[in-house]
Structure 1
Amino acid sequence: MMQQTPAAELLLAVARRFAGIESPEEIRLRASRVTDWRAAMDLARAHGMEPLAAYYINTDCAGMFAPEFHKRLRAILVGNTAKFVVLSTDLIKVLRILEGRGIPVVPLKGPVLAEKLFSEIPWRDSCDLDLLIPRIDIGRAKDALVNAGYRLDSELRSSEENAAFHWTSQLILYPDGIGPALDLHWELLPSLFPCARYFDSVWQRLQHSAFDDIEILALSAEDQLFFLCAHAARHSWHGLRHAVDIARLIRVSPNLDWDSIIHAARGSDGVKVLALGLWMVNRLLEVDLPETALRFANAEIDGRQFASRLLERMVITDPEQYETSSELRLQLQLANGWWPKLRCAAGYVLLPTAAEGVLRLPASLFFLYYLYRPIRLTAKYGMKFFRMISCEITRTHAPTDGLITGKG
């Protein structure tokens, strides 16, 4: 692994501390080597770890710095606590609106995950609320929330929204006043991504849980682990917080059914997605995995150059400097076989995004959205983009290439 800056070393120590690996003494040692605290906290913020870093630096390094600096750290924690309260209050309000209509809903990430992973402090920085709703109930959920004062974040006319459903997996709504956005999902992962089939039966494995004295539906620990690995992969491991989430979930879930989750991953093109997540927390944060999980992760990921590059990038690069084009590349590397790779590439190239909605095409010309995106991508990336897709699909047929092939 390449040499790290003192700020990166401290951030990794904070992540390991949260995962139960590092000691307070190590936090103090790493903190004593940091000279540019503005840059250090900026790095923590870029990795989605500013509240967590502020908490451990403030507690484990008490008295090491000027009172003004500790006051700044406490201000970060107070601000994040206030945000947590707002998110929690809005979540309960939305849950009651939807439950009043008889609509099943599963809160994802946000304050529910923060409370599950670390009930002592709302360390996890979140800006919106993600809710999983059955596809059949999305229309009713949208109407209920619009009637309650939310508005759709959509450039498409209402007559076109249903036609747009088949290319996305979520609707975004905003409150009329100040408050967090709502992301209504009917799929945990868009269907064209590798491993999306894992979530086909997730509704059959939901569990009842408690949040702020109310009963909610929640993912099982095994499904939550796979979801966090898939979410990290979808976003090209864009920040250390992905690893922190996975590592902490493993720590607070000692009864994980590892055989079950590995078996499910093998049956859904999710082998490399799960293995990469486990491999990253083992190598990056030194998390001890059960022998079954460690053998599985090492067999699938050891020696893969793309994984080694991800590991090095995570500890030496500010996430704001990551190349967006790496997201598709990683999806192609995680997919097994030429057909999943082709589906993933076709989805990225052809399926419109919110940016295409600004065209405001009439319903009769709706199909032109599918032509506009390839034109935009060609203009932006040129032949480099298409060479990358062709290369990744071709490598599927080269068994000696360690970048793509694997035992999954």
Structure 2
Amino acid sequence: MGARALLDVLRAWPEAPVGPVPQDVEAFVHAAARHGLAGFVQHALGRSGWRLEEPVRTRLRREALAQAARGMRVKVLLLRSLDALAQVGVVPVLLKGHGLAVRLYPEPLQRATTDVDLLVADAEVAPASRVLEGLRLKPLAEEAAAHAREHEHHLTFSGAAGLVELHFRALVGYGQALEADALLARAQEAVLEGRRVRYLRAEDELVYLALHASNHLLQRLSWLFDLKLLMRAHPGLDWGRVVEVARGTAFPHLAWYALDAARRLVGAPVPEETLAALAPPSWQRMMAARFFTAERLLETELMNHKPAWVVAKLLLAPRLLPMARYTARRLREDGLAALRARFVSSP
């Protein structure tokens, strides 16, 4: 039952968790690290009456420091990317990552961040790509980039400094796309360490984060906790607009899956009427209840079992036909990639 204590901490926040110290503290610390929340949990426990024994405390501190070191590396790359983009007049929308953590968490490095996600208008992709390459970040090969522009939502730039994902769509998932134009038009200007940035409007950001989490089958609890923190940061959130935004996408079901799980598992203040307005058919609600139990999400069960992942995606899809086509294409591409790799590695 140690891992479930992570949910107790997240559900209780901003209050301290109640009850005794979890019996299996090793499982508790492992779950915090697995879900990208070691730094936050260390902070939260400082406000509680829980006292972990020294070996466990040391492990939690080590995990939190490693997470913070990775986050600092991503932050440095983010600031370099913003400086480079400013030279060509591009002010991106910051998605997830450090830009989210700096607004929602007690300290931004308390939330795990692995890469830089930037959303730009379609016309800005070419100049943005050039300046990112100028940071010694390697772009996708021409064929892969052409494929990404047609089928995916971002181009990838990677190098010794880390990974930047340059989004030209907000999301592609379940065989369907969420284009960026309307989101960009409503985005709000802000400043991050002296640099111009933009963030999605609160209602748009809530829907986007929910869609992103469900697109990855809620396999990181920090994504659900982000939703709770965003709601707490915006007590005047217009829930009617949230419903309108979600219904305006191709995947309102995905918003429901994440919002429902955030309410059940981490105590996010989602109104009942919002869930009712976005609810998928009853059989999909039943499937979600089975796939997204506390135990299965804590163990990232779907992430570790590819056949179950594919089944869950098909059963939870807003529309089966686009998802089936997408799955068939991915399986075909994966098969061809495996075949090419086999021939390349053959003597």
Structure 1 and Structure 2 fold alike (TM over 0.5): yes
The 8 Å contact of residues 235 and 327 in structure 1, kept in 2 or not, is answered as: no
Q: Which moved more, 1:243-252 or 1:158-167?
A: 158-167
Q: How many angstroms apart in 1 are the aligned matches of 2:62 and 2:294?
A: 30
CA displacement at 1:51 relative to structure 2: 2.2
Q: Which residue of 2 is the match for residue 323 of structure 1?
A: 305
Q: Which residue of 2 is the match for residue 142 of structure 1?
A: 129
Two-structure CA RMSD over aligned residues (Å):
3.0
Q: Which residue of 2 is the match for residue 128 of structure 1?
A: 115
The 8 Å contact of residues 169 and 178 in structure 2, kept in 1 or not, is answered as: no
Please say if 1:222 is aligned against 2:206.
no
Q: Which residue of 1 is the match for residue 45 of structure 2?
A: 57
Q: How many angstroms apart in 2 are the aligned matches of 1:107 and 1:249?
A: 15
Q: Which residue of 2 is the match for residue 382 of structure 1?
A: none
The SS at the match of 2:89 is coil
Q: Give the structure with higher Rg (CA).
A: 1
Q: Which moved more, 1:111-120 or 1:289-298?
A: 289-298
Q: Structure 1: 5+ residue runs without aligned partners?
A: 362-408
Compared CA separation, residues 80 and 59, structure 1 to 2 (3 A)? farther
Paired residues, number = 339
Please say if 1:207 is aligned against 2:191.
no
Q: Which residue of 1 is the match for residue 65 of structure 2?
A: 78
Q: Structure 2: 5+ residue runs without aligned partners?
A: 342-347
The 8 Å contact of residues 240 and 314 in structure 1, kept in 2 or not, is answered as: no
The 8 Å contact of residues 171 and 183 in structure 1, kept in 2 or not, is answered as: yes
Q: How many angstroms apart in 1 are the aligned matches of 2:243 and 2:259?
A: 11
Q: 1:11 aligns with which of 2, 6, 11?
A: 6
Please say if 1:238 is aligned against 2:227.
no
Q: Give CA deviations for 1:317-366 in whole Å, capped at 9, x if unaligned.
A: 51156423444444444444xxx3211211221157688557779xxxxx
Q: Give CA deviations for 1:26-73 in whole Å, capped at 9, x if unaligned.
A: 1xx34x2323x33332222222222222322344246x2344543443
Q: Which residue of 1 is the match for residue 154 of structure 2?
A: 170
CA displacement at 1:10 relative to structure 2: 0.8
Q: Which residue of 2 is the match for residue 44 of structure 1?
A: 32
Q: Give CA deviations for 1:378-401 in whole Å, capped at 9, x if unaligned.
A: xxxxxxxxxxxxxxxxxxxxxxxx
Compared CA separation, residues 50 and 355, structure 1 to 2 (3 A)? farther
Q: How many angstroms apart in 2 are the aligned matches of 1:104 and 1:356?
A: 38
| Amino acid across the alignment from 1:166 | E
The SS at the match of 1:125 is coil
| Amino acid across the alignment from 2:155 | L
Please say if 1:161 is aligned against 2:155.
no
CA displacement at 1:252 relative to structure 2: 1.1
Q: Which residue of 2 is the match for residue 91 of structure 1?
A: 78
Q: How many angstroms apart in 1 are the aligned matches of 2:76 and 2:146?
A: 30
The 8 Å contact of residues 246 and 281 in structure 1, kept in 2 or not, is answered as: yes
| Amino acid across the alignment from 1:84 | G
Please say if 1:261 is aligned against 2:245.
no
| Amino acid across the alignment from 1:305 | M
CA displacement at 1:266 relative to structure 2: 2.3
Compared CA separation, residues 257 and 354, structure 1 to 2 (3 A)? farther
Please say if 1:24 is aligned against 2:16.
yes
Q: Which moved more, 1:143-152 or 1:322-331?
A: 322-331
Q: Which residue of 2 is the match for residue 108 of structure 1?
A: 95
Compared CA separation, residues 112 and 119, structure 1 to 2 (3 A)? farther
Q: How many angstroms apart in 1 are the aligned matches of 2:57 and 2:237?
A: 38
The 8 Å contact of residues 88 and 111 in structure 1, kept in 2 or not, is answered as: yes
The 8 Å contact of residues 87 and 129 in structure 1, kept in 2 or not, is answered as: yes
The SS at the match of 2:109 is coil
The SS at the match of 1:190 is strand
The 8 Å contact of residues 193 and 344 in structure 1, kept in 2 or not, is answered as: yes
Q: Which moved more, 1:295-304 or 1:343-352?
A: 295-304
Higher relative contact order (CA 8 A, sep 6+): 1
CA displacement at 1:93 relative to structure 2: 0.8
CA displacement at 1:314 relative to structure 2: 4.4
Q: How many angstroms apart in 2 are the aligned matches of 1:354 and 1:110?
A: 28
CA displacement at 1:243 relative to structure 2: 1.4
Compared CA separation, residues 76 and 55, structure 1 to 2 (3 A)? farther
The SS at the match of 1:33 is coil
The 8 Å contact of residues 230 and 274 in structure 1, kept in 2 or not, is answered as: yes
Q: Which residue of 2 is the match for residue 371 of structure 1?
A: none
Compared CA separation, residues 146 and 70, structure 1 to 2 (3 A)? same
The 8 Å contact of residues 279 and 297 in structure 1, kept in 2 or not, is answered as: no
Q: Which residue of 2 is the match for residue 348 of structure 1?
A: 327
Q: TM-score, normalised by structure 2?
A: 0.85
Q: How many angstroms apart in 2 are the aligned matches of 1:94 and 1:342?
A: 38
Q: How many angstroms apart in 2 are the aligned matches of 1:163 and 1:211?
A: 33
Q: How many angstroms apart in 2 are the aligned matches of 1:221 and 1:59?
A: 29
The 8 Å contact of residues 190 and 198 in structure 2, kept in 1 or not, is answered as: yes
